[in-house]
Structure 1
Amino acid sequence: MNLLRNTKRWIWPTLLTLILVAIVILAENIHHHQKCTKVNINIEGDNDSHLVTAEEILEIVNPNVVESPEGKPYDKIDFKRIEKRVCLNKLIESCQVHRDLSGEMTIDVTEHTPLARVINNNRSDTYVTEKGDFIGISPHFTPRVLLLSGNYFNEVKDLTDLKSKPILELIKAINEDAFWKAQITQLVIEKDGGITLIPEVGNHVIEFGMGIDIEAKFKKIKIFYKEILPAKGWDTYHKVSVKYRNQIICE
């Protein structure tokens, strides 16, 4: 009797466990062989409008009938391969592919937020990312960003190297300050890295020098705007230099 009682005690939990395992295996098998019913594109970013379109992403994902994921079992679809292909578009920062229980695939795309735009007669224009990468431009949207020009860009392929770090730091400093972001519209950068600022308001240019002592130099420029220009007039000077320490030279 005790043996029968003990047997009844463990047989039902064991049976329930086996049933649950069978259900999980069956669900996994169905899920694994489920076909892709639809591809959804979700584009994210901090731009006012998108640099890329859902149609462009779909063309990358569905270049032809053979490579199209729609109608294929999910065990035949390589998510990582799709992500890598989508990220070949330099305007895209990251891509993640996932699916839901209904069989729909979603491709989440995050696009870059450009900090500046290089304008150069010797090569095509390009946006600059926070890391200093050049990513080309978008045919769909032109964000209002800081313009970069000058002989410096005749040779460099990006702003990721140590030599370009001061330039990138200056670009970031301008973008992070509401006043300077509105007032400084362009940087002209010479071959040696010397920088001239072109302001939005006024007929003057600002000789900034190398991209060092950024905070101190901007303090001197503010003195020029708050104390010197109101006293002398906005059209008095055509150039102001803050490249030398403890000096503001107005011409």
Structure 2
Amino acid sequence: MNRKLRIGLKLFGWIFVLVWLIYGLNYANKTYNSTKCTAVNVRVIDSLQVKLIDAKKIHKAIISSKNSPIGMPIKSINTYKLEQEISKMAAVRDVQIFKTASGEINVEIKQRRPILRVFNAKGQTYYIDDAGKVLPHSSGFAANTIVASGNIREPFRIEPNFDISKYADSSVGGKQSLIYKLYKFAKYVSRNRFWNAQIEQLNVQDPNNVEMVPLVGPHVVNLGDLSNFEIKLKKLKLLYQKALPTEGWNKYSYINLKYKNQIVCTKNIYYGTRQ
């Protein structure tokens, strides 16, 4: 086979591939333009970690709305607008929507992650998520978090998505807000496997006396004003690991960590007595 014939065959082959590719793209484009939405699939990506959003309820809300995408040409569906609508839900952190050539819409949702539930002095209750933003409490969901209650008075109005990190700086209002300290404590605990399994509740007597209720043992722990709480928890962990297994978890009713370089323990008056 001479050189000119080989070049001609190769050129013909490339032209054939190019024509077939253009035809295929045109056919796919025409098919896509005429395809209508037949299904909406909703997936909550982190549903095993947090259970604030019900995928079935989101699905029902989408297909039953007046702007339901079902039956609409897939090309004309505005996924950005649909994402914006879903993002208005308080528990939604992020939402991504994708269209498929087969006529389906896939909705992927990430939830906000509450780390603290607050019952304040006014009788209000709400969550704070791991980003430091207020998440309204709803009867439609519940989160397994530390609970803080008692004499908690916020220096701001409780509103959805309010960022409490604005009160992290001690220059705001003259001192760092108690609610921000509670948030930082809860965030630390949520990331610590040991303490996340130990701490259940915080009782605020006043900003200088925050009491911690552990899951194990009948005692209450006074953390003081939550300053240097990491150091205080390290001391408490040593007490848990070294002393209490020997002395008994029921020996103390009150453990005070508010004083520097010491732990003051109050014995349970019923410890060691017969009923």
Q: Tell whether the structures are fold-level matches, with TM greater than 0.5.
A: yes
Q: Is the 1:51–1:139 Cα contact (8 Å) retained in structure 2?
A: no
* 1:98-155 superposed Cα distances (whole Å, 9 cap, x missing partner): 1223211111122233222222363543232111222223535433321112333544
Question: What SS is found at the alignment partner of 2:44?
Answer: strand
Report the AA paired with residue 90 of structure 2.
Answer: K
| C-alpha distance in 1 between matches for 2:34 and 2:265 | 74
Question: What SS is found at the alignment partner of 1:187?
Answer: strand
**Which residue of 1 is the match for residue 171 of structure 2?**
none
| C-alpha distance in 2 between matches for 1:49 and 1:11 | 59
Q: Is the 2:217–2:249 Cα contact (8 Å) retained in structure 1?
A: no
Shift in CA distance, 222/19, structure 1 to aligned 2, threshold 3 Å? closer
* 1:58-112 superposed Cα distances (whole Å, 9 cap, x missing partner): 35424533x1101111222111111111111111221111122321111112223
Question: What SS is found at the alignment partner of 1:152?
Answer: coil
Query: Does residue 228 of structure 2 align to residue 213 of structure 1?
Result: yes
**Which residue of 2 is the match for residue 145 of structure 1?**
145
**Which residue of 2 is the match for residue 242 of structure 1?**
257
| C-alpha distance in 2 between matches for 1:35 and 1:199 | 56
| Higher RCO structure, 1 or 2 (CA under 8 Å, sep 6+) | 1
**Which residue of 2 is the match for residue 122 of structure 1?**
122
Question: What SS is found at the alignment partner of 1:41?
Answer: strand
Q: Is the 1:129–1:135 Cα contact (8 Å) retained in structure 2?
A: yes
Equivalent residue pairs, number: 247
Unaligned runs of 5+ in 2: 169-175, 267-275
RMSD: 3.3
1:37 Cα shift?
A: 0.8
| C-alpha distance in 2 between matches for 1:16 and 1:236 | 83
1:48 Cα shift?
A: 5.9
**What percentage of residue pairs aligned between the two structures are identical?**
24
| C-alpha distance in 1 between matches for 2:219 and 2:28 | 71
Question: What SS is found at the alignment partner of 1:86?
Answer: helix
